[in-house]
Structure 1
Amino acid sequence: MPAPLWKQQAAMPADILRTAWPRLRPGLLIALPALLLAGALAGAVLSWRAAAVNREIAALEAGRDRPVTPDAPAPLLLARVLHLAHRDATEEMEPLVVALEGRQAPALLARARYALGNARLRRALDLIERSQLDPAGPLIVLARQEYRRALQARPDFWDAKFNLDIASRLIRDFPEMDRQVGDELKAEPKKIWTDIPGQPRGAP
Structure 2
Amino acid sequence: MSSLSSAWSRSRPHLLLALPGLLLAGALVAGGLSWRAQATNRDIAALEANHDRPVTTEAPAQLILARVLQLARRDATEAMEPLVAALESRDAPALLARARYALGNARLRRALDLIERGQLDPAGPLIVLARQEYRRALQARPAFWDAKFNLDVASRLIRDFPELDRQIGDELKAEPKKIWTDIPGQPRGAP
User: In which range does the TM-score fall when normalised by the shorter chain?
Assistant: 0.7 to 0.9
3-state SS of 1:155 partner: coil
Partner residue of 2:27 out of 17, 21, 40: 40
Kept in 1: contact 2:120–2:163 (CA 8 A): no
Kept in 2: contact 1:138–1:180 (CA 8 A): no
3-state SS of 2:3 partner: helix
1:112 maps to 99
TM-score (normalizing by structure 1): 0.80
Question: Could you list the per-position Cα deviations for residues 1-52 of structure 1 after superposition, in whole angstroms to 9, with x for gaps in the alignment?
Answer: xxxxxxxxxxxxx433212123212211211110000000000000000000
The residue type paired with residue 3 of structure 2 is: I
Q: How does 1:46-125 map to 2 (within 5 A)?
A: 46-125=33-112
Q: What displacement does 1:175 show? A: 3.2
Q: What displacement does 1:174 show? A: 2.6
Structure 1 portions without partners, runs of 5+: 1-13, 186-204
15-24 or 36-45: bigger deviation: 15-24
Percent identity, aligned pairs only?
80
Root-mean-square deviation over aligned CA pairs: 1.5
Structure 2 portions without partners, runs of 5+: 173-191
The residue type paired with residue 24 of structure 1 is: S
Q: What displacement does 1:82 show? A: 0.3
3-state SS of 1:57 partner: helix
The residue type paired with residue 18 of structure 2 is: A
Kept in 2: contact 1:176–1:183 (CA 8 A): no
1:135 maps to 122
96-105 or 80-89: bigger deviation: 96-105
Q: Counterparts of 2:167 and 2:29 in 1: how far apart (Å)?
A: 54
3-state SS of 2:57 partner: coil
The residue type paired with residue 56 of structure 1 is: D
Q: Counterparts of 2:167 and 2:3 in 1: how far apart (Å)?
A: 79
Distance 1:58 1:30, change over 3 A: same
Partner residue of 1:162 out of 149, 155, 158: 149
1:20 maps to 7
The residue type paired with residue 98 of structure 1 is: A
Q: Counterparts of 1:85 and 1:184 in 2: how far apart (Å)?
A: 34
Q: Counterparts of 1:141 and 1:122 in 2: how far apart (Å)?
A: 13
TM-score (normalizing by structure 2): 0.85
Kept in 2: contact 1:134–1:184 (CA 8 A): no
The residue type paired with residue 13 of structure 2 is: P
Q: Counterparts of 2:83 and 2:133 in 1: how far apart (Å)?
A: 14
Partner residue of 2:17 out of 27, 30, 43: 30
Distance 1:54 1:131, change over 3 A: same
The residue type paired with residue 32 of structure 1 is: L
The residue type paired with residue 69 of structure 1 is: T
- The answer to whether 1:151 aligns with 2:138 is yes
